[in-house]
């Protein structure tokens, strides 16, 4: 999410709502038909005053009971017809608008999958969730009711005033007099309400984020006894949202009171003037009854203006919030030309690679600067460095989770910037230090690494990861692991993530400290099985422990955003003080333990750069 809610701009609600047209266009025939039916039903109610005029000036004045009963029958038939038409309108819009909401939600989800990781780093998940649920529900409700009745009520008011002026133009002018102050009031209300509506919807997103984080982090909340502080934070956000909603209610109550009172005063004035005209004989009693009945029939269309404008503003705000996400640029992809990087050798090559996070302060040093590294075909390269040195960031550049800001990365001579992401991610498989599992079966989680893999390949991958615990689960491969796989231990989740990475026998493998959660015995078994996999692929392995480093053919030391040394484990132990300190805590040559006597100068120079991840 942006660092603060979007500031109000002089955007037009109509312009915002027009952006919904591509979604509405497929169902436009039914919507237009529903609007026509609703206008017809509403206009039928304006025929009732004309029938009343006929009854008062005719059968009532002539004392004709039969005519009165006939008029009553006409009124009953009109009421039934009006009810049937409104029911038909609701049937017309219910199914297609549910489809519009589903289509928008599907497009939002699809778009979220294609947005860069940097976008998801900035936006709280609760804000995205509220846009896909609450905001889309508001839009469906707007299309189903307020949008139609804005048109219907406008048409009804227009037809009603034509009938009023046809009956008596002087009384019509009396009722038309409040139009100018009502227009001014509605304009002011619309501006104020749009601000508070946006504020409320942003606060709903913040509240959703807190709830989601509290549920996902329930173990932390309980483990540290922070349920009271979390409840306090939630209460504070709830109170803030409550205050905002009360502000909305006050605005709506104020405009509704004015919209109700001003026309009532006009109707009262028309009643007094009309009564005088009837007494003078210049106006029939039936005409006055019809006039007042028509005016009363227009009360709801006029009084509903405030309510409909409020819903329209909320819908316009929801539309803006929806398209804030939809307008975010997706990951740029290449047309798919397989361009060979000039003079790039086979294997995995980093040439002058630089990277700075998009949200980094201007002028700040890059996280990675001039990375030059060549991982030969079939070679495993261990990546070692101090905490915050940028190891994870470097590995994230290979599958283009982030885009390099300088230099290039080539795989078997082909610049990854020229590859389609789908093809690149078929070539490169990854396993992260923090394993993420989905609410699916064990088998489905592993198959995310290779969609077309069969059960034998899945079993082989599980064997490599020493994930034999799967057979002891209630349904084996078909066991649901629950949200984020929290029904499993950290080591079990990490082993499934490793199985997912190797199931497709990728040409390139990127492992970010994949064994950190394993006990030493399981780690030994996994390393033995993993060696066979690494013989078949070109791999980069982030390592923090000597046991993991021993999987590699060579080691690259990352320091101050640069590769400062490359060699075998033994070579670097003998020749590089920083590497020796990182691996064993002792200086080469059997010097004193830096944990008790101080850190070598080379190690002390390793900074933890701001913004590294």
pLDDT tens, residue by residue, 59-88: 776 677 777 788 788 778 888 887 888 788
Percent of the chain with pLDDT over 70: 91
CA 546 to CA 120: how far, in whole Å?
34
Per-residue confidence at 164, pLDDT binned at 50, 70, 90? confident
pTM: 0.73
Looking at residue 337, its pLDDT comes to 44
User: Tell me: the pLDDT tens digits for 226-261?
Assistant: 778 888 888 888 899 899 989 888 888 888 888 888
**Dist. CA 121–CA 173, nearest whole Å:** 60
Q: Where are the domains of the chain?
A: 13-326, 348-604
Q: Which of 39-53, 238-252, 489-503 has the lowest mean pLDDT?
A: 39-53
How many Cβ atoms from other residues are within 10 Å of residue 488's Cβ? 22
H or E, element range at 555? strand 554-559
Output the six-digit token pair for 122: 């900035």
Give residue 6's pLDDT: 46
462-472 confidence digits (pLDDT tens):
888 888 888 88
The string of pLDDT tens digits covering residues 294-332 is 888 888 888 788 788 888 888 888 999 999 999 988 877
- At the topology level of CATH, where does 13-326 sit? ABC transporter transmembrane region fold (1.20.1560)
Q: What is the spatial order of strands in the sheet that 348-355 belongs to?
A: 368-375, 348-355, 406-411, 414-415
Residue 349 parent element (H or E): strand 348-355
DSSP state of 2: -
Per-residue model confidence as pLDDT tens digits over 396-453: 899 888 888 889 999 988 899 888 888 888 888 888 877 788 888 888 888 888 877 8
Above 70 in pLDDT, residue 148? yes
Q: Does domain 348-604 have CATH number 3.40.50.300?
A: yes
Q: Which two tokens stand for residue 14?
A: 């109509």
What is the per-residue DSSP string for 84-136? HHHHHHHHHHHHHHHHHHHHHHHHHHHHHHHS-HHHHHHS-HHHHHHHHTHHH
| 2-11, 363-372, 413-422: range with lowest mean pLDDT | 2-11
């Amino acid at each position: 999410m942006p660092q603060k809610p979007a500031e109000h701009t002089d955007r037009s609600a109509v312009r915002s709502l027009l952006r919904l047209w591509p979604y509405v266009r497929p169902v436009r025939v039914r919507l237009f038909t529903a609007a026509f039916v609703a206008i017809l039903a509403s206009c039928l109610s304006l025929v009732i005053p004309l029938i009343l005029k006929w009854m008062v000036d005719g059968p009532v004045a002539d004392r004709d009971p039969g005519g009165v009963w006939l008029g009553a029958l006409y009124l009953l038939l009109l009421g039934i017809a009006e009810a049937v038409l409104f029911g038909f309108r609701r049937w017309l819009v219910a199914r297609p608008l549910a489809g519009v909401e589903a289509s928008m939600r599907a497009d939002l989800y699809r778009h979220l999958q294609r947005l860069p990781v940097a976008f998801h780093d900035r936006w709280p998940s609760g804000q995205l969730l509220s846009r896909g649920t609450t905001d889309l529900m508001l839009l469906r409700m707007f299309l189903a009711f307020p949008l139609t009745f804005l048109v219907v009520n406008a048409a009804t008011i227009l037809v009603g005033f034509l009938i009023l002026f046809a009956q008596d133009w002087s009384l019509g002018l009396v009722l038309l007099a409040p139009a100018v102050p009502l227009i001014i009031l509605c304009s002011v209300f619309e501006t104020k309400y749009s601000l508070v509506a946006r504020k409320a919807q942003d606060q709903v997103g913040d509240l959703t984020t807190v709830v989601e984080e509290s549920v996902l982090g329930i173990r932390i909340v309980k483990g540290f006894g922070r349920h009271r502080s979390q409840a306090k934070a939630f209460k504070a956000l709830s109170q803030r949202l409550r205050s905002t909603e009360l502000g909305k209610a006050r605005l709506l109550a104020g405009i509704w009171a004015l919209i109700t009172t001003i026309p009532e005063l006009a109707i009262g004035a028309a009643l007094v003037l009309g009564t005088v005209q009837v007494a003078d004989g210049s106006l029939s009693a039936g005409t006055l009854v019809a006039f007042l009945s028509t005016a009363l029939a227009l009360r709801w269309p006029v009084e509903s203006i405030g309510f409909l404008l409020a819903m329209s503003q909320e819908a316009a705000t929801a539309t803006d919030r929806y398209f804030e996400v939809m307008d975010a640029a997706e990951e740029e992809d290449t047309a798919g030309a397989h361009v060979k990087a000039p003079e790039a050798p086979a294997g995995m090559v980093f040439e002058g690679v630089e990277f700075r996070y998009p949200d980094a302060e201007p002028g700040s040093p890059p996280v990675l600067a001039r990375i030059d590294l060549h991982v030969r075909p079939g070679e495993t390269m261990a990546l070692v460095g101090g905490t915050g040195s940028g190891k994870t960031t470097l590995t994230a550049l290979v599958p283009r989770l982030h885009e390099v800001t300088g230099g290039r990365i080539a795989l078997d001579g082909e610049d990854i910037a020229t590859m389609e992401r789908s093809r690149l991610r078929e070539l490169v498989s990854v396993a992260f230090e923090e394993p993420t599992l989905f609410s699916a079966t064990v088998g489905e989680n592993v198959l995310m690494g290779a969609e077309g893999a069969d059960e034998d390949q899945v079993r082989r991958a599980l064997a490599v990861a020493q994930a034999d615990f799967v057979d002891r689960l209630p349904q084996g491969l078909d066991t649901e692991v629950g949200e984020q796989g929290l029904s499993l231990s950290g080591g079990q989740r990490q082993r499934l993530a490793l199985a997912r990475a190797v199931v497709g026998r990728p040409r390139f493998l990127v492992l970010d400290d994949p064994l950190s959660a394993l006990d030493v015995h399981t780690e030994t078994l996994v390393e033995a099985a993993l060696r066979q996999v690494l013989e078949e692929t070109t791999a980069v392995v982030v390592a923090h422990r000597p046991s993991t480093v021993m999987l590699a053919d060579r080691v690259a030391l990352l320091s101050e955003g640069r590769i400062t040394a490359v060699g075998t484990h033994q070579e670097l132990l003998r020749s590089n003080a920083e590497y020796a300190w990182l691996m064993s805590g002792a200086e080469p040559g059997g010097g004193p333990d830096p944990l008790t006597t101080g850190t070598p100068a080379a190690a002390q120079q390793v900074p933890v750069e701001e913004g590294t991840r």
